[in-house]
Structure 1
Amino acid sequence: MFSQGQLIFAACFFVAFAIAMIYAYRKDVKLHKLFYKGSYKILIAFIVFIGILFVIKVYFKR
């Protein structure tokens, strides 16, 4: 499906992207702690909301 060159490029790109993201996160970790202090609550609320929508869908499908 993919040529060997495409697979090598994808692997190299993934490694370089992961390294760049780790570097950028470590550089800004102090700012993240300051400005995004309660962001995990929003993530939990979003997951609960999606779960409720799923339960409603299953309930009304019957």
Structure 2
Amino acid sequence: MFSTGQLYFAIFFVIVFIIAMIFVYKKDLKEMKNQYNKTYLILIGFLSFIALLFVIKIFIKD
């Protein structure tokens, strides 16, 4: 289905892409810790909002 050259290119591309992503992640890790230090509060708020919607739905249904 694919030629040998295409397979080599795909393998090479995937390996280089993964290495680049690891390098960029390690470089930005220090900044991410400072900028996203309380994201769990957003998750808790979002889940609370969804739970509130379900509670309202139950009360309106009856």
TM interval, shorter chain, is 0.5 to 0.7
Identity of aligned residues (%): 47
Equivalent residue for 1:12?
A: 12
Q: Could you tell me which runs of 5 or more consecutive residues in structure 2 were left unpaired when the two chains were aligned.
A: 51-62
Letter of the 1:7 partner, please give it.
Answer: L
Letter of the 2:8 partner, please give it.
Answer: I
Q: Give CA-to-partner distance per residue, 1:4-50, whole Å, 9 cap, x none.
A: 110100000100010011001101101111212317839x96xx8xx
Equivalent residue for 2:26?
A: 26
- In terms of Rg, which structure is larger? 2
Letter of the 2:9 partner, please give it.
Answer: F
Cα RMSD over matched residues? 2.8
Q: Hey, which bits of structure 1, 4+ residues long, moved more than 6 A?
A: none
CA distance in 2, matches of 1:19, 1:11: 12
Q: Could you tell me which runs of 5 or more consecutive residues in structure 1 were left unpaired when the two chains were aligned.
A: 49-62
Where 2:31 maps in the other structure, the secondary structure is helix
CA distance in 2, matches of 1:33, 1:16: 26
